[in-house]
Amino acid sequence: MGVEVSVEGLTKSFGSQRIWQDVTLTLPAGEVSALLGPSGTGKSVFLKSLIGLLRPEQGSIVIDGTNILECSSKELYEIRKLFGVLFQDGALFGSMNLFDNVAFPLREHTKKSESEVRKIVMEKMELVGLLGAEDKLPGEISGGMRKRAGLARALVLDPQIILVDEPDSGLDPVRTTYISQTLIDINAEIDATILIVSHNINLARTVPDNIGMLFRRHLVMFGPREVLLTSEEPVVKQFLNGTMIGPIGMSEEKDEATMAQEQAMVDAGHHAGGVDDVEGIVPQMKATPGMPFRQAVARRQERVRHIMHTLPENAQIAIQESLDETSGGNGGGGYDYAYSQEDTQVIPAYRGEGYENTTHGQG
Ligand SMILES: Nc1ncnc2c1ncn2[C@@H]1O[C@H](COP(=O)(O)OP(=O)(O)O)[C@@H](O)[C@H]1O
Ligand SMILES: [Mg+2]
């Protein structure tokens, strides 16, 4: 199974510009998590910090027992081998065909023979649905295919942690769903820890086991999908519904006057946009039939059951319904998972700056 990534009190600035502060979260081992937030909130900066490409000035990032902010460069090199990363643009070499692009990490970091390399590359090409496109150059294929190729390349070294920066950017909704399905299937197949950075609501609602939300330099909340999808926290609710009504504005900081004006518009019958008619816990995407059962689901649901009593009553009812609906598919539920206190993490982290956190009174 993938390894846990534990972030505590993380703060990052560039010069005098504070990007985010005091971010604390744990990516549960072998589960899919998504970090959401409006553009420019520092999602990519967070992702790059996790692999040690950027250096936060405070806090810790513990991976497999090592705090990567304090370890030697040799240790960091070893830790990095656990990662597969899909950057926002796919970052393929333009002059190499897809086969050579995907083979690159294997040829660079291993001593595998060419026939072994071929076997692995073809396996990953198949997993991302690119068989037959090996000879194409990145310039000859669609953005969606480039993303897939980038993903295949991120997978060849059998990573235990997979970071994916905006898998949906530049893709239409259907192709976004295909790549989401691929990520779910990868998790089912190799039980890797996956972090997806995105601002796509559809993806956020249907793909990850856990959701985090960055806003105004803080991690507003991080926890299992059941909790975030039933949250009354204004930022979370607005974002997951994609409406104009709420603290998030066109420029990130919205003032009270604008909020009142928009509310008045909506009260007078104006459509605030978004999808608030599908509130609540929508079904999560499942692995493609024939794939192994996704172990992460049962582990997450177990965690949710343990924190249920701390949540508002409405949320408890909705969550219970969704657990009842999905627990039938757990294949008997005989999974092996040691529950630990650290895992029960829902962070109502952000209080203040003009609105109350109404979700979690006292934990
Ligand atoms: N290497 C860098 N040096 C200075 N500022 C940076 C650097 N990388 C990102 N930033 C700034 O950090 C902020 C967050 O950027 P980013 O993480 O790309 O946002 P997101 O991915 O959420 O859209 C932006 O204001 C950006 O200009
Ligand atoms: Mg980004």
| 173-190 and 114-127 helices, crossing angle to 10° | 130
Ligand 1 pocket, 14 CB below 6 A?
A: yes
Is 5-222 assigned to CATH 3.40.50.300?
A: yes
Sequence-ordered alpha helix ranges (H) in 207-294? 225-229, 234-241, 256-267
Q: What pLDDT does residue 275 have? A: 59
Ligand 1 pocket, 66 CB below 6 A?
A: no
Residue nearest to atom 25 of ligand 1 (CA): 40
Successive 10-residue mean pLDDT values, the chain, 363 residues: 94 97 97 93 95 95 95 92 84 92 92 95 89 93 86 91 89 82 91 93 92 94 94 85 73 72 75 65 90 93 94 90 71 37 47 40 38
| Residue 162 backbone dihedrals phi, psi, to 5 degrees | -120, 125
H/E segment holding residue 152: helix 143-155
Query: Ligand 1: which of 43, 45, 49, 197 to mutate, judged by most atoms within 8 Å of the beta carbon?
Result: 45
Q: How crowded is residue 288: how many other Cβ atoms within 10 Å of its Cβ?
A: 12
Task: Determine the atom of ligand 1 nearest the C-alpha atom of 197.
Answer: 21
Which segments of the chain belong to CATH 3.40.50.300? 5-222
Alpha-carbon torsion angle 164, 167, 170, 175, nearest 10: 160
Ligand 1 pocket, 40 CB below 6 A?
A: yes
Q: Which ligand is nearest to the CA of 165?
A: 2
Ligand 1 pocket, 213 CB below 6 A?
A: no
pTM of the model: 0.84
Task: Determine the atom of ligand 1 nearest the C-alpha atom of 48.
Answer: 17
User: Does residue 187 contact residue 294 with C-beta atoms inside 8 Å?
Assistant: yes
Ligand 1 pocket, 169 CB below 6 A?
A: no
Q: Identify the CA nearest to 350 among candidates 32, 16, 34, 37.
A: 37
